[in-house]
Amino acid sequence: MTGRVAVLAGPSGVGKGTVVARLRDEVPELWVSVSVTTRSPRPGEVDGLNYWFISDSEFDDLVARDGLLEWAVVHRTARYGTPLQPVLDAVADGRTCLLELDLAGARQVRKVLPEAQFIFLAPPSWEVLEARLRGRGTEDEAAVGRRLETARTEMAAVTEFDHVVVNGELGATVADLVSLLRLGSGLSRPTPSVT
């Protein structure tokens, strides 16, 4: 039996990380890829769970020996990539594999695995995304402007995807993804009781 690969992408600030963490907790049969990155861990992040945190030379080495399914420089700062072998192993095991990627990564996967399922996570509105990107107002206006500019380009890519899921209420988003991915045990919506 062979499994399937699904790619979840969407603009920065839309909440991909939160959605994937919830899916991972609620749907044990889903296999979620752990990316490698050259950025430093944030407080609370665990090596091998959130990412594999590796050095620039380790990343170069992986690229040189074709160890990555795709990779990209994100936010012009760090490199991120999907280790290839674990994806091949999970597919061979018949698992449904989820890759959470930026737009550049999703486009690369589209080239090598056109049969994968491409899902775009969209904000409920531009205003909601803008508010999330502005965050707590700690960044200067120029930095916020750059983030909004990037988000506008990312939003325009929605037409490249097979499905769009609007990330409004978290439980409903997770339930929509469980159904799109045809997974059995989505627990995020209560089953109606029969009386």
Question: Please, which residue, 85 or 185, has the CB nearer to ligand 5GP?
Answer: 85
70/63 Cα distance (integer angstroms): 9
Give me the least distance between CB of 138 and ligand 5GP, in Å please: 16
Give me the least distance between CB of 94 and ligand 5GP, in Å please: 23
100: three-class secondary structure by DSSP: strand
Give me the least distance between CB of 74 and ligand 5GP, in Å please: 4
Give me the least distance between CB of 180 and ligand 5GP, in Å please: 18
- Among 13, 81, 123, 186, the residue binding ligand 5GP under the rule CB under 6 A is 81
Count of residues binding ligand 5GP (CB under 6 A)? 15
Strands of 117-122's sheet, edge to edge? 30-32, 96-100, 4-9, 117-122, 163-166
**Neighbour-count burial for 42-81, b at 16+ CB within 10 Å, e otherwise:** eeeeeeeebbebbeeeebeebeeeebbbbbbebeeebbbb
Residues 6+ apart with CB under 8 A from 176: 165
Decide: 129 and 166 in contact? Cβ < 8 Å: no
* CA distance from start to end of the chain: 39
Give me the least distance between CB of 177 and ligand 5GP, in Å please: 15
- Among 15, 31, 32, 80, the residue binding ligand 5GP under the rule CB under 6 A is 80
- Tell me the residue nearest to ligand 5GP as measured from the CB: 105
Residue 78 is given by DSSP the state: E
180 makes contact with ligand 5GP (CB under 6 A): no
Half-sphere exposure of 131 (CA within 13 A, CB side): 6
Question: Near ligand 5GP by CB under 6 A, which window of 54-62, 72-80, 133-141, 178-186?
Answer: 72-80
Question: Near ligand 5GP by CB under 6 A, which window of 75-83, 89-97, 163-171, 173-181?
Answer: 75-83
Question: Please, which residue, 81 or 186, has the CB nearer to ligand 5GP?
Answer: 81
Range 26-65, binding ligand 5GP (CB under 6 A): 35, 39
Residues that bind ligand 5GP (CB under 6 A): 12, 16, 35, 39, 70, 72, 74, 80-82, 100-102, 104-105
